[in-house]
Chain A
Amino acid sequence: MGKVIVVTSGKGGVGKTTSSAALGAALAQNGEKVVVVDFDVGLRNLDLVMGAERRVVYDLVNVIQGEAKLTQALIRDKRLETLYLLPASQTRDKDNLTPEGVEKVITALKRAFDWVICDSPAGIERGATLAMRHADVAIVVTNPEVSSVRDSDRIIGLLDSKTLKAENGECMEKHLLLTRYDPARAERGDMLNVDDVLEILSIPLLGIVPESMDVLRASNVGSPVTLADGHSAPAIAYFDAARRLKGENLPVAIPGEKRGFFGKIFGRKAA
């Protein structure tokens, strides 16, 4: 049985889709079977970020409504043969996602894949609650910024109350993925730093992805950043996060902590 992961945040635009694609590709590079499911019905983007937008024929809603078989809707990645995408519908709305339908699809995917990654839409409505419903593990994507942290706190509350795991009295495994982290701003004290966010949300840290042009470049060419440039800083952060997801105990490097000579002299936060 595969593991179901929800990538969620509450707040929009923090990097859920970017992270779903990057982690999916990172996990699949080791030969594990991965499917990334777009739950953002009406506003799909995962297909674009993964470079599969021209290959979408059927989608999640078609499968749920019985208009297509699951195997017809799954798109295999052109670069990695163990990576698949299940796109969302662009023309219908979230009401077409039924709890029963979602359950059926997830159950089938769990049987066929090692990892089922659910890219949640923003918000706390139906799409978001259905995306998290069957999760074994949650990745809470947060930017170091007040509104994102607040929304993440809200989402953590929902993960602990509205999911199947929570309803069965089990504890949802939650991880924090801090994205769009700008070391210079954190250093200047104009952005919440890693410790601040960890202290406030108090869930374990899965990784820190720096703010980077490489993410934009990767999405421009339709490639998860872990495939586009595996040596870029965000790609390395996602690769490490993927290893931690698999249970490896890797220390998390805080971007900007490794500084050059001048950085050491001028950039340090003195006691």
Chain B
Amino acid sequence: MNFFRLFSRPQSAPAARERLQVLLAHERASAGDSDLVTKLRDEILRVISKHMQIDDEKVSVKMERGAQVTTLAVDIEIPFEAGKKAA
């Protein structure tokens, strides 16, 4: 530890390095299909609308990146009448 550093602000470069490492690992893995989420959203929508009527606007697909895993959250609002109408 630097003698003077005891009295100064903590270093910010290590945080920069760590954030970059996590981010770039993901960006490299998904390079080329940046529109993956859009594709997933369209296909999910297509599958579901085979069975029930849903509103395009009420479907949300989100991808969240963590250090170890990526989570895909699909949120679909299904109206009460949806099942019947499509049948």
Name A's B-contacting residues (CB within 8 A): 145-146, 149-150, 153-154, 157, 161, 186, 188-193, 196, 199-200, 266, 268-270
Q: How large is the interface on B (under 10, 10 to 19, 20 to 34, 35 or more residues)?
A: 20 to 34
Pairwise interchain contact A146-B19, C-beta atoms closer than 8 A:
yes
Pairwise interchain contact A150-B12, C-beta atoms closer than 8 A:
no
Name B's A-contacting residues (CB within 8 A): 1-5, 8, 11-14, 16-17, 19-21, 23-24, 27-28, 31-32
- B13's contact among A157, A186, A199, A268, by CB below 8 Å, is which? A186
Give the residues in chain B near A154, CB-CB below 8 Å. Answer: 27
Chain B binding site: helix, strand, loop or mixed by DSSP?
A: helix
Pairwise interchain contact B27-A189, C-beta atoms closer than 8 A:
no
- A192's contact among B13, B28, B32, by CB below 8 Å, is which? B13
What is the minimal beta-carbon distance from B42 to any residue of chain A, in angstroms? 24
Q: How far is B12's CA from A91's CA once the two chains are assembled, in angstroms?
A: 43
Chain A binding site: helix, strand, loop or mixed by DSSP?
A: helix
Give the residues in chain B near A191, CB-CB below 8 Å. Answer: 13
Pairwise interchain contact B13-A150, C-beta atoms closer than 8 A:
no
Give the residues in chain B near A199, CB-CB below 8 Å. Answer: 17
- B28's contact among A153, A190, A269, by CB below 8 Å, is which? A153
Please name the 6 residue pairs, one residue from A and one from B, whose CB atoms are nearest each other, closest first: A189-B11, A196-B17, A189-B13, A146-B16, A157-B31, A153-B24
Pairwise interchain contact B16-A192, C-beta atoms closer than 8 A:
yes
Pairwise interchain contact B11-A188, C-beta atoms closer than 8 A:
yes
List, sorted by A's number, 28 A–B pairs whose CB atoms are closer than 8 Å.
A145-B16, A146-B20, A149-B20, A150-B20, A150-B24, A150-B27, A153-B27, A157-B28, A157-B31, A186-B13, A188-B8, A188-B11, A189-B12, A189-B14, A190-B11, A190-B12, A190-B13, A192-B13, A192-B16, A193-B13, A199-B17, A200-B17, A200-B20, A200-B24, A266-B3, A269-B2, A270-B1, A270-B2
What is the minimal beta-carbon distance from B23 to any residue of chain A, in angstroms? 7
Give the residues in chain A near B2, CB-CB below 8 Å. Answer: 266, 268-270
Pairwise interchain contact B1-A200, C-beta atoms closer than 8 A:
no
**Chain B residue with Cβ nearest A158:** B31
Q: How far is B39's CA from A131's CA once the two chains are assembled, in angstroms?
A: 31
Q: How far is B20's CA from A169's CA once the two chains are assembled, in angstroms?
A: 29
Q: How far is B32's CA from A146's CA once the two chains are assembled, in angstroms?
A: 22
Pairwise interchain contact A200-B28, C-beta atoms closer than 8 A:
no
Pairwise interchain contact A150-B23, C-beta atoms closer than 8 A:
yes
Q: How far is B21's CA from A69's CA once the two chains are assembled, in angstroms?
A: 48
Extra pairs beyond A146-B16, A150-B20, A150-B23 (17, CB < 8 Å): A149-B20, A150-B24, A153-B24, A161-B32, A188-B8, A188-B11, A189-B5, A190-B13, A191-B13, A192-B13, A192-B16, A192-B17, A196-B16, A266-B2, A266-B3, A270-B1, A270-B2
